Chain A
């Protein structure tokens, strides 16, 4: 069982809608959580990270963290076709030397 789990998708949403991407993790020692976006044939690029329980908003993106439930999510408001990509959730833990463990990614498709 992977330490960071994501639904592989594809998740399909219409343009302008809210896309909700979810991630669960198994290591309770995980302290920092990251969302990366990866376009097909490209490398992952950081969208945002979150350390504390609750919500963190950056532009159209909101990350949500619930450590009790071991759950992280990413909301994308006003989804655009250019948001179509694979979204990778990653967690780091002091137990693992703060190395990042990535989930398998969720493929998002935003339809015009």
Chain B
């Protein structure tokens, strides 16, 4: 299995631009998670999906952030408009099991820099 695939690996953009991060979970996994990691705040859960349905988005920082999972093999995290404080590494992770199943496999991450 190719693992969790994220794109792009690196993104540099200017403040105010739209950013779209993409994730392909491991085939057969039914839960998908978006995390953000910064030096100051560590690894924070933004949102997670179970069977393509958003279960908890309480970690999404504000309305500028949105996430979708149109099917079992694809998810997007969108930031519009982007701000310098959004600079971070964004990880997608997937797992198999019940709601919020625990053993996560992480993707390689998307490093976002907003100038």
CB–CB A34/B99 < 8 A: no
CB–CB A92/B43 < 8 A: no
In whole angstroms, how far apart are the Cα atoms of A101 and B41 in the complex? Answer: 12
In whole angstroms, how far apart are the Cα atoms of A79 and B34 in the complex? Answer: 32
Question: Closest residue of chain B to A94, judged by CB?
Answer: B100
Question: Closest residue of chain A to B56, judged by CB?
Answer: A97
* Chain B hits for A103, CB < 8 A: 42
- A49 CB–B CB distance under 8 Å: yes
Query: Which one of A12-20, A38-46, A54-62, A70-78 contacts B?
Result: A38-46
Interface digits, A91-108 against B, CB 8 Å rule (1 contact, 0 not)? 010001111111111000
* Chain B hits for A45, CB < 8 A: 106
- Output the least CB separation between A54 and chain B (Å): 19
Instruction: From the candidates A32, A44, A88, A104, name the one contacting B102 in the complex (CB within 8 A).
Output: A32
Given A43-B91, A43-B107, answer yes or no on A98-B42 (Cβ-Cβ < 8 Å): no
* Chain A hits for B106, CB < 8 A: 43-45
Given A92-B100, A97-B55, A100-B102, answer yes or no on A43-B109 (Cβ-Cβ < 8 Å): yes
CB–CB A99/B107 < 8 A: no
CB–CB A34/B55 < 8 A: no
Question: Closest residue of chain B to A8, judged by CB?
Answer: B42
* Chain B hits for A96, CB < 8 A: 100
Instruction: From the candidates A46, A99, A101, A102, name the one contacting B48 in the complex (CB within 8 A).
Output: A99
Q: 17 pairs across A/B with beta carbons < 8 Å?
A: A43-B106, A45-B106, A46-B103, A46-B104, A49-B103, A97-B55, A97-B100, A98-B98, A98-B100, A98-B101, A98-B102, A99-B33, A99-B48, A99-B100, A100-B33, A101-B45, A105-B42
Q: Point out residues on B near A: beta carbons under 8 Å.
A: 33, 42-43, 45, 48, 55-56, 91, 98-109
Other than the given A43-B91, A45-B106, 11 more pairs (CB < 8 A) read: A42-B108, A44-B91, A46-B103, A49-B102, A97-B55, A98-B100, A99-B48, A99-B100, A100-B100, A100-B102, A100-B104
Those 8 A-B pairs whose CB atoms lie nearest each other, nearest first:
A98-B100, A43-B106, A102-B43, A104-B42, A97-B100, A99-B100, A92-B102, A44-B106
